[in-house]
Amino acid sequence: ILGNTWPYCVTTEPFTNSRSMPYEVELKFPLADPTDILAKLERIGAKRGETVNQCDTYFAHPSRDFGQPDEALRIRRVGEKNYITYKGPVVDSHTKTRHEIELPFANGPETADQLGEMLDALSFRPVRSGSKQRTLFHLTWQDRAIEFGESIRLPGVPRHNTAPVSYTHLRAHET
């Protein structure tokens, strides 16, 4: 399944450590052919969901370099919904595990623009913007709801089991 021409990642839903801090776990793998993996997902029962547009703007901190510890501050628009996200320094480079805080705020592109203006007034500067489309696939496996797109979301899966669980499950159902 794995190749080297298309980025692919496995992401668990943020989990909480003993101090109640949410963490995101992310693994990225290249895929030779996304069509192949999508066909395999459908064969094992994944249902195609909606396609969503995500528009992101990342901001630089006014007094320190977010790039050195690999931190990020982002405003994301998903359709009409808006989120602001802080991604802390990576604590496990093998799985790109990091503290993540994501908060929704009022809907609409105008509101996202206003928050961007407020951050700018506070000396945060936009450094990168981009958009992407994601088509989600939904699958229930071992009593867990799994979302597949260009990322796979495995709620409640311990971080060290994330890749083997999803990859092994896909390999076991190949024909």
Give me the active site residues, please. Answer: 58
Neighbouring residues of 83: CB distance < 8 A, sequence distance ≥ 6: 75, 76, 102, 103, 104, 105
What 3-state class would DSSP assign to 150? coil
3-class DSSP assignment, residue 78? strand
The residues near 36 (Cβ < 8 Å, ≥ 6 apart) are 1
Q: Is 112 exposed, middle or buried (0-12, 13-18, 19+ CB in 10 A)?
A: buried
Q: Give φ, ψ of 124 to 5 degrees.
A: -80, 135
**Identity (one letter) of the amino acid at 92?**
D
